Structure 1
């Protein structure tokens, strides 16, 4: 039975959506007004208000940024909220009736509002800003601290040096209730009970003391004061799903459940002055009074998309993988999940695929006549081929008609295809944990590595590569994830695989070099490494010789090698004189021969220093190693002369990742780094950028539908088991898939995925999104601690951090001094001075 992806069904639903929404179903972050008459909430990235008894919602913000976590001022006249309009979440404030929003905070770390102070003069928020000098726990993203900023703008003050979230002040400001944050666990994980679960606390400002109110070992969060402040209401999972509970402050152990929801968690509890609570459940709004039944709030709204359904973008970078054509004139690459082909001279770029699903693992066929790639369609990975249909069109980048067809017809996942050099066999990964070879003529299939031999964690984490004679493969054998080994596979499947490294360390990613007479591979046996296998390792490039004669040549000293080269020139000259026209054809590839006796001694370390390695290749004559290494910031291109051991940095790249590949004759080295492709002359090391001039349209809603399906399918295929906490994963697909038409941006999509993955009740799960905009705020550091209690203009220094920007002998800056200006601008008490530090070096 053919698998049916949810994507098609979801696209039908999305196609039926109109701008008018009678029943919006992904309402998040509701907050009820102090008088209980209005509820502000976020839908599709904008703020709306709706009467608390239901009705038509009014849109307050109309910005492409994500606006959320709105809170009301005590008099109900203002709303503060978080928005990423400058590349990170800052605090903004606006009239509750609508209008322009004023920015209050300017730091490039996220700032999230929780409440207004009791006197209405400040907005209380959580953030990762500068701590006080006396506190030992420096704030991080998972350990934010508590601050406040004047509603009219001004200097930010610190309230608490500990993580306190969803803070609410008492009416007189003497107390605050909050839930703590002990670590970075997925906020939307459900039902877990551990030491990292949140608890409810009461803070007394007069005594500067904190009292833990909750005792449940699971999640307790989002507390609010009752109108008379004699008790609190909060959300807890102590009866299963998140529900609303009450707790008397005089007797915290006397807990009462106020709601009994089962299938979904109650989220975002707030309360009005007269005790009317609001929250969201299953993507919709509800209100509740203690002792009564919760009431659903009917919401209708009219909104418009903030962007076109078909988004047009240029493709001039963002390359994630590449494949060079056999003639060296074309490069196939993947950008933004699509297949493109560009000319090496950069004159033309052609889009090959046009799907909302992702394509990966692109390569040219050995004769250059077609492309192979994998695509995740109809709920599974499949292998496709793309061919030029007009014989007169010799290049993909200039082809007018390209036909795509499935390479295989399988009902299971199949990807990471690699054609043998003779084009007769296809190796690929089947069901994520088997390496299979298919004879394209006979259709006979053999499994070379089985699930017992391979650990799988993410798509594309298996590795293998064909030998020049198409009879063998080098692969990485890794049954436990801990340490891999480089192994040799017989493509016919007649011989068992042979372990070539046998080190007990992590060995893998072996490549054939020197016409198959030797291999290179990466190993962490010599570098710094985590013995718990939980961290990164420094690696080296090693080589192993299958041919003893090649090994002997490798071990010649410099003088011996020069003599050998002269003898070779003489022999080659004799061969050239004997050549006839019939000999001008390309030499036939010879079958590889393996000298197994003593092979364990024919290995050598090629890099002279262990480091973080990206990729490595060997020059045609085998004398020079080119490799991507990271010592300081990013990866750079290095080389080592294997005869003299001279090692040097050839090109500074500061790359996040990279890969290297030769053209067929090994005359040019092609480099992929930081999403860009360049061609390098290995003699002069001259680098020439490959200009990409591509373009594409994409449907954002269709892509979300695919990504949702991808996450669900992948989780089911490699992680989920039917007895996992009793979770019905098929039901989760339906429960959360219904929200897709109501998603407005990537933040909301990531949060919805996190809610679905949170059903599994496992750690290290969830989805995150970080928006990238041109010239975002970046707040420079002064390298000081300052006095938050300082009154008046300027920044009073309490400590100069050693080695920081102001720790200079010629400055003589000391504790107690006051910084009055930054780059000539006065540091006023009426301004968040982070504004003066943005985009400063």
Structure 2
């Protein structure tokens, strides 16, 4: 089966897990009870729920509670328990806060954007939009006088720096408050003191986290401009709120999140709630308690506190020192949980072709759907709501379907009638864990499958007996590296490839009768994707054997592209190469004509001349399997080199011993590719060319695609994004309409609640099966499953399920554990894009104009990536004013961004002037851009380069590496190589979230020049012109994560210089790509951790501790300084002063002129005289 996903098709042709909008059930099929699917020891435990909803983001005002439920805002009464819905939009409304007088509610909503601040009456009504924020505005509260709403945002800045803003409740421009970095905040009643959290780990699923990004409390006095940290706990202190002069917050100081209180004057903290969690260690096998869950999201009205507890809410009364559970009756239609129909084509994530190419099996939302290529009915194969069926394969006669399903609680192989009217039966019952692609042998006797342990298994269809063919000890994320296997046309052999200890693929041949395996390729050659030719004459495979280096102009380093060639093995020693050389002879034409396959007349002519009769044609019946003769002796040497150029081939198939089909990846090594990987489907005939003209390579189709050939070799299936095409294998170039399979009007029925139970169970299994530590960090995983399964009945929205899954995987206490996405049902309206001018705009004091404070020019490398205001002829500069946009005057009560909604790429007219008045104003036309974040990043880097030049002098350089991917490599190349001649370099990986390129960068940084060349004219040069001879320092901070931490750690280990800054995030157990869930959601389970021989497991949970710790003093940052960068500059100056950078000069040129020795001392002349004397 071939699969499509958001990431495109894999080069290794493995079936990628289902993704994006996938769906389930067809026609009049009614969802069946989950009970049948949850029998067995691995079923989801059924437990009583605490409440029938997930209540989040609460706030309190007297008896009234506002909270988010099912993605909407609700207003509840503590005294009655009644709750009414305030919003019903398709997006999510959250972070609601009552105004101080309780008459209004400010919240973050998704009405026209990804997330902005809105305000509405507490009694209900139409919300008013206050912000137009490209990064998503997060409401945190109100000013004490109720005139402004406070929110945090990444707007106007760069990197991951969240700042605190206020916006008038009546509307207007947002104003930044004088605190450098804020993620959570609470304003004291005096209006000048703000308790805040600068850096927060609230986005991750990680219980008991103590890494560098842990939330810490700070107190700012905005009038005195003073700042101090409250306490020194290295874990999480978050969600500060004021009750009088006492600060309440949530802390993990006791090991479990509880509400604490503190006197900010002395920093003394006291625990006020006493939540305690059951132990979930493996040693504790008792049943988990369903009473205690983590608490979160604290809020207050200045008298009482409210917070989340599990899926419900709780209220703490400081005066009574008492906590009570807040219960509400949500009378909801549970719209997101209702069964619904979705288009089959949108749901489809994979397809496979029937034996004769007349029907297809589609994977969609965990169901297998049989559809006709041309005419006929579409039907479900063994449907069962609440289970996931996938990796389907046809039996050779087309009467049965084998598929992988978790309907028993674990993934097993099942078989069902292809007509869809019978009962599915399990072929296996003892397998455990994820199963990969299925393939049915042509003789119908066996099925091959790969599993999570990188094994290849043969299953006897008659008995269910399982034989292990082989097992690899190398692999990739979620076991996707062992899908290369293929039966011979007679079903007696299995060809497969596996990853070897040297990380090359090796190809093997397995004799099913004798159970003997034979290696076909050498260990120094990576060969993979083996497939038998449909005629049984050849084995075709791909191998990386073409190494033609290309040299980088910037780094002078080499890279190999288009390394893959197509290779044939002649299986029988009697099979001749199709490119075998011949010798022309007179009279040979008739013999050649008679020998040509597929020409009956020639055969008859030859038979008549020889006196023999042609064999009788057999009667119609089941197709006879080709006889496959394999001579193992010398097989590896019977290589036929196909005259195709090397490429980036990902998969190959061969039909009738002649026609090859190849999927060739377009720019596979590009890190900047957007969307699915694009490929070319190529066709080529393996035959000797006529004359001097080589055989042509045909391009049949181009795009994000994969293909599959039918068992009989006559038909081919192409899957390109969501389009299915079936064509004859002798086809030529395809058009968009050629062979298109129509799914128009076909729908699937989805039962969200059944799916949510399946997703929960599968997520638990994926963590069990793929977490890097088999012991799951000592966690009793069965007990954890039972704990959170108790909350499943309360899930009423896909976002609720993500919250529940996040809590589940948070118990593993590890980084890179993520969950997201999924089908919420009711579509979120597409956000209306904002247009940007690439400039800082500030409302003038007159209120009728915006002053242009700064225009961002880009970095000079890309002339197109700059502010639209810098287009030649616009003639706008910093200090000018914008008076109107599109003829609409700017107003003090409206953000100027409101006038730029929907304008990206459109021509608009700006009314501008050198002064904030209409007199002398002029009109200019510009095209706003859709995103100015890159421009602002370039400005941020330019500011730091100027800062280093000003404070460090011309011999210090600055290189910021924004990520460990394409952007990081690009910025490194821009700023590393031009600075190689300097005495010191600062490598800044602050705000770098990671990737995978640390080794590439360190290889460059760790090199040193060791020799030089001096030309006749000009200066000396070195072949190590990518190597830096000077001193280096690295900067890291709390936002340096994953591979940026690996970089920081290696920088220390390799002694490239000191690391300066703050302790890093602490996530070094990677997860690779996300595992795709049944409804398109994504789950990331960390499955590989870093260790070193001398330190064991490194970085995870703590982060990298700098050699020199420097905290960014808020006052210094507000004053325009960068204390971490200051320390880096000072350190480099110290290093250079102590150990000046050597600048070698050429030695004196050698004097090699001949100089005669003094007479009588010439050794040459003396030797000649001796020879003459001897000769006499």
TM-score band, normalised by shorter chain: 0.7 to 0.9
Out of 639, 655, 671, which is 2:718 matched to? 671
- Pick from 59, 63, 66 the counterpart of residue 92 of structure 2: 66
Alpha carbons of structure 1 residues 86 and 480: separation in structure 2 relative to 1, 3 Å: farther
Match for residue 493 of structure 2 among 456, 472, 484: 472
Distance 2:252 2:525 in 1: 45
Change (3 A) 1:700 1:494: same
3-state SS of paired residue (2:248): strand
Please say if 1:169 is aligned against 2:187.
Answer: yes
Summarize deviations over 1:3-25 as a string: whole Å, max 9, x none.
24544837xx79xxxxxxx9456
Q: What TM-score, normalized by structure 2, do the two folds share?
A: 0.61
- Say if 2:78 and 2:326, in contact at 8 Å, map to a contact too: no
CA separation of 1:639/1:71 partners in 2, compared to 1, >3 Å: closer, same or farther?
Answer: same
SS in structure 2 of the partner of residue 351 of structure 1? strand
SS in 1 for 2:138: strand
2:733 is aligned with 1:684: yes
Match of 2:626 in 1: 589
743-752 or 52-61, which moves further after superposition?
52-61
Alpha-carbon separation, structure 2, partners of 1:504 and 1:241: 54
Q: For each residue in 1:699-756, what CA deviation from the matched residue of structure 2 results, as whole angstroms up to 9, or x when unmatched?
A: 2111111111111123223338685454332222222111112112111110111011
- Deviations along 1:660-714, one digit per CA (max 9) or x if unpaired, are 1124565554221223212457413233331114222222111111111111123
Q: Are the equivalent residues in 2 in contact too, given 1:319–1:334 (CA < 8 A)? A: yes
Matched position secondary structure for 1:521: strand
Question: How many equivalent pairs are there?
Answer: 791
Q: How do 1:739-778 and structure 2 match up within 5 A?
A: 739-769=791-821, 773=827, 776-778=830-832
Relative to structure 1, is the Cα distance of residues 362 and 440 closer, same or farther in structure 2, using a 3 angstrom cutoff? closer
Q: Which moved more, 1:361-370 or 1:343-352?
A: 343-352
Corresponding residue of 1:256: 270
Give the 5 Å matches for 1:301-700: 301-307=329-335, 309-345=338-374, 348-352=377-381, 353-388=383-418, 396=419, 401-410=421-430, 412-413=432-433, 415=435, 416-429=437-450, 432-441=453-462, 444-450=465-471, 453=473, 455=475, 457-458=477-478, 462-463=482-483, 464-478=485-499, 484-492=505-513, 494-496=515-517, 498=519, 500=521, 502-503=523-524, 508-513=528-533, 515=535, 517-521=538-542, 541-547=564-570, 552-553=577-578, 567=592, 571-572=596-597, 573=599, 574-575=602-603, 579-582=614-617, 588-594=625-631, 597=634, 599=636, 602=639, 615-617=651-653, 622=658, 625-631=661-667, 632-633=673-674, 634-638=676-680, 651-653=701-703, 655=704, 658-664=705-711, 666=713, 668-679=715-726, 682-688=731-737, 689-692=740-743, 693-700=745-752
Equivalences for residues 168-187 of structure 1 within 5 A:
168-181=186-199, 187=204
The equivalent of 1:151 in structure 2 is 169
Q: Does the alignment pair 1:784 with 2:838?
A: yes
Q: Quick check: 1:220 aligned with 2:237?
A: yes
- Alignment partner of 1:707 is 2:727: no
* Distance of 2:809 and 2:127 partners within structure 1: 35
Distance 2:112 2:438 in 1: 43
1:186 touches 1:754 (CA, 8 Å); kept in 2? no
Answering whether residue 162 of structure 2 is matched by residue 115 of structure 1, we say: no
CA RMSD of the aligned region, Å? 4.1
Q: Which whole-Å CA distance do the structure 2 matches of 1:660 and 1:128 have between them?
A: 44
1:589–1:835 CA distance, 2 compared to 1 (3 A): farther
- Separation in 1, partners of 2:179, 2:522: 52
Conserved in 2, the CA contact under 8 Å of 1:520 and 1:541?
no
Pair 357,815 (structure 1): closer, same or farther in 2 beyond 3 Å: farther
Cα 1:152/1:491, change in 2 over 3 Å:
farther
Residues 423, 63 of structure 1: alpha-carbon distance in 2 compared, 3 angstrom cutoff: same
Matches within 5 A, 1:232-243: 232-243=247-258
Q: Which residue of 2 aligns with 1:266?
A: 295
**1:299 maps to what in 2?**
327
Indicate if the aligned counterparts of 1:30 and 1:268 stay in contact, CA closer than 8 A: yes
What does the per-residue CA deviation read over 1:573-630, in whole Å, with 9 as the maximum and x for residues that have no partner?
334655444268756412242566483794869885766x765545766565532524
CA shift in 2, pair 1:191/1:775, >3 Å: closer
Question: Displacement of 1:437 after TM fit?
Answer: 1.0
Whole-Å separation in 1 of the counterparts to 2:149 and 2:544: 54
| Preserved contact between residue 531 and residue 540 of structure 2 (Cα < 8 Å) | yes
What residue in structure 1 maps to residue 1132 of structure 2? Answer: none
Kept in 1: contact 2:836–2:900 (CA 8 A): no
| Partner Cα distance (1:178, 1:521) in 2 | 58
SS of aligned partner of 1:709: helix
More strand by share: 1
Pairwise CA distance, 1:330: 0.8
Deviation for aligned residue 1:759: 0.9
Name stretches of at least 5 consecutive residues in structure 1 with no aligned partner. 15-21, 132-136, 389-395, 530-535
Alpha-carbon deviations, 1:289-335, whole Å to 9, x = none? Answer: 44854411341313122427322223133321111111211111111
Which of 1 and 2 has greater Rg? 2
> Whole-Å Cα distance in 1 between the matches of residues 817 and 560 of structure 2?
24
2:782 matched to which residue of 1? 730
Distance 1:26 1:684, change over 3 A: closer
Q: Does the aligned pair in 2 maintain the 1:320–1:335 contact within 8 Å?
A: yes
Q: Distance in 1 between matches of 2:882 and 2:595?
A: 77
Q: What is the deviation of 1:499?
A: 6.4
Structure 1 residue 191: Cα displacement? 0.9
1:765 Cα deviation (Å)?
Answer: 0.9
Instruction: Please list, as runs of the form range in 1=range in 2, the aligned pairs for 1:817-828 lying within 5 A after superposition.
Output: 817-818=880-881, 828=891
Q: Do 2:111 and 2:829's aligned partners in 1 also have CA atoms closer than 8 Å?
A: no
Task: Report the secondary structure of 2:406's partner residue.
Answer: strand
Distance 1:158 1:622 in 2: 70
- How far apart, in 2, do the equivalents of 1:82 and 1:565 lie? 84
**Superposition deviation, residue 240 in structure 1:** 0.6
Deviations 1:78-109 (A, max 9, x none): 11222334463332221123233233334464
* 2-structure distance, mates of 1:594, 1:540: 29
**Change beyond 3 A, Cα 1:360–1:474:** same
Taking the aligned partners of 1:281 and 1:839, their CA distance within structure 2 comes to 44
Partner of 1:392: none
Shift in alpha-carbon separation, 1:104–1:621, aligned structure 2, 3 A = farther
Moved more, 120-129 or 237-246: 120-129
Q: Say whether the 8 Å CA contact 2:51–2:311 is kept in structure 1.
A: no
How far has the Cα of 1:214 moved from its partner? Answer: 3.9
Match of 1:95 in 2: 121
Distance 1:539 1:55, change over 3 A: farther
Distance 1:373 1:243, change over 3 A: same
1:315–1:694 CA contact under 8 A, matched in 2? yes
Matched-pair contact (CA < 8 Å) for 2:542–2:651: no
How far apart in 2 are the matches of 1:292 and 1:240? 25
Is the 8 Å Cα contact of residues 540 and 606 (structure 1) preserved in structure 2?
A: no
Provide the C-alpha distance between the structure 2 equivalents of 1:386 and 1:615, rounded to a whole number of angstroms.
Answer: 29
SS at match of 2:617: helix
Contact 1:795 1:818 in 2 (8 A): yes
Q: How far did residue 760 of structure 1 move? A: 1.0
SS of equivalent residue, structure 2 residue 800: helix
- Give the distance between the partners of 2:188 and 2:879, measured in 1 at CA: 35
For 1:286, the equivalent position in structure 2 comes to: 314
Kindly indicate whether the alpha-carbon contact (under 8 Å) linking 2:709 and 2:715 is maintained by their aligned counterparts in 1. yes
Q: Which moved more, 1:799-808 or 1:77-86?
A: 799-808
Q: Is 1:197 aligned to 2:214, yes or no?
A: yes
